[in-house]
């Protein structure tokens, strides 16, 4: 499981790099937005989906992409 988690983290970083390139953002821009600054945030538990990988970035990606990437309804 530890190895799997590490691979998912690498995949997430690659997805961020591709999005930055697609949006002509500086390298590391999205990563800097998502790391840190959550000390006062509220988190809500969710039930896991069997056999699924879910990447929910909330509204941040829609805002960062000026609407090019749409947020899911939540």
Q: Is the pTM of this model over 0.85?
A: no
Look-up: residue for tokens 């969710």?
Answer: 46
pLDDT of residue 62: 83
Domain boundaries, the chain: 2-64
d(CA 51, CA 48): 9
* Count of CB atoms situated within 10 Å of the CB of 28: 13
pLDDT of residue 17: 92
Q: Using the Cα atoms of residue 41, residue 16, residue 50 and residue 3 in order, give the sign of their dihedral.
A: negative
pLDDT of residue 74: 62
pLDDT along the chain (74 residues), means of 10: 87 89 88 66 69 74 82 72
């Amino acid at each position: 499981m530890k190895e799997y988690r590490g691979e998912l983290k690498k995949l997430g970083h690659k997805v961020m790099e591709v999005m930055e390139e697609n949006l002509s953002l500086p390298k590391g821009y999205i990563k800097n937005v998502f790391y840190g600054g959550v000390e006062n945030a509220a988190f809500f538990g969710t039930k896991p989906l069997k056999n699924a990988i879910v990447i929910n970035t909330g509204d941040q990606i829609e805002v960062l992409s000026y609407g090019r990437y749409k947020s899911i309804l939540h």
